[in-house]
């Protein structure tokens, strides 16, 4: 934790952004905020200052955090009308914690650097639970000096904080993370559909597997969601679809094949096509259940 209160900005106060911003304010930092919807009352009650737009946030703060859904959203927040870039002064730091295109991130960083400011891409993993518990994994791309400047603030929001490399490398790491998570969800879903259709108790199967080499955080958390049918969103299928599309777009650019990623993306597309884009990504199991004409457990 930094000893001196800082002037911080936070743009994007959704499911994850709101608790992340809350941790910064709880540490005693001045907090200037803006978001597309209403600023959570809890943040205002804690002393956060509501700004009319991103430009006002950037003008008031020395370090500006952004946490919005997709690449076009980040571009609009940074460079659109009344965007962050219009409120920056030399020496300020912009930290994008969204999950977006690594290639676009490099372009955004160059534009911010041209204004005499530093830029970090610092996407996170851990979902709503990790955001609320300040236990996020944070993957950071940018200069060493900028990382060291922001690190005390990252420790208020997360536990596993890694400076991966240059701008764009944080986003590349997040895409890799989302590949692994999606494939693990698909594997757990297939195993539980198979076990349940074969007549075994999926809860007991999961319990047995948790003690062996197949054990994983996905089996523990999302396996339980599949069995208990608790698909309220911690991380929505629609957002994970976006991340897998980034992976597949990057694969085309790099000339590599990601066949299992493409398969997981199709399972999520099947869910979205059946009206489930706003469910938690553990609901990927529903695509397999539809094909099997069998649910892991009763809804």
Catalytic amino acids?
A: 174
Task: Write out the two tokens for 132.
Answer: 């609320």
Burial of 71 (0-12, 13-18, 19+ CB in 10 A): buried
Task: Write out the two tokens for 40.
Answer: 């959570």
Strands 30-34 and 124-125: unpaired
Strand partners, 115: none
Task: Write out the two tokens for 2.
Answer: 């930094």
**Contact at 8 Å (CB) between 54 and 83?**
yes
Handedness of CA 202, 206, 209, 215 (dihedral sign): positive
Residue with tokens 């199709």: 266
**Contact at 8 Å (CB) between 9 and 61?**
yes
C-alpha triplet 270, 277, 20: angle, nearest 5°: 140
């Amino acid at each position: 934790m930094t000893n001196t209160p800082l002037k911080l900005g936070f743009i994007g106060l959704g499911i994850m952004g709101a608790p992340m911003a809350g941790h910064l304010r709880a540490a005693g930092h001045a907090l200037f905020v803006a978001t597309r919807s209403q600023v959570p009352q809890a943040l205002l009650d804690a002393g956060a200052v509501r700004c009319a737009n991103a430009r006002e946030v950037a003008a008031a703060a020395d370090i500006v955090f952004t946490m919005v859904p997709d690449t076009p959203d980040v571009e609009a927040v940074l460079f659109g009308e009344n965007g962050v870039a219009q409120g920056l002064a030399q020496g300020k730091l912009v930290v994008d914690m969204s999950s977006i295109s690594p290639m676009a991130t490099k372009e955004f960083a160059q534009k911010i650097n041209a204004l005499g400011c530093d830029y970090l891409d610092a996407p996170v993993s851990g979902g709503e639970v990790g955001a609320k518990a300040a236990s996020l994994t944070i993957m950071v791309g940018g200069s060493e000096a900028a990382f060291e400047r922001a690190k005390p603030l990252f420790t208020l929001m997360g536990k596993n904080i890694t400076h991966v490399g240059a701008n764009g490398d944080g986003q590349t790491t997040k895409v890799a993370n989302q590949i692994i998570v999606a494939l693990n969800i698909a594997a757990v879903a297939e195993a539980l559909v198979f076990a349940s259709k074969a007549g075994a108790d999926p809860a007991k199967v999961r319990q047995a597997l948790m003690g062996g080499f197949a054990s994983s955080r996905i089996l523990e958390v999302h396996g339980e969601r599949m069995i208990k049918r608790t698909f309220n969103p911690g991380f929505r299928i629609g957002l994970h679809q976006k991340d897998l599309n980034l992976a597949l777009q990057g694969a085309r650019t790099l000339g590599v094949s990601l066949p299992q990623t493409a398969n997981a993306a199709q399972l999520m597309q099947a869910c979205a096509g059946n009206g489930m884009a706003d469910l938690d990504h553990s609901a990927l199991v529903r695509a397999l259940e539809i094909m099997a004409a069998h649910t892991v457990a009763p809804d």
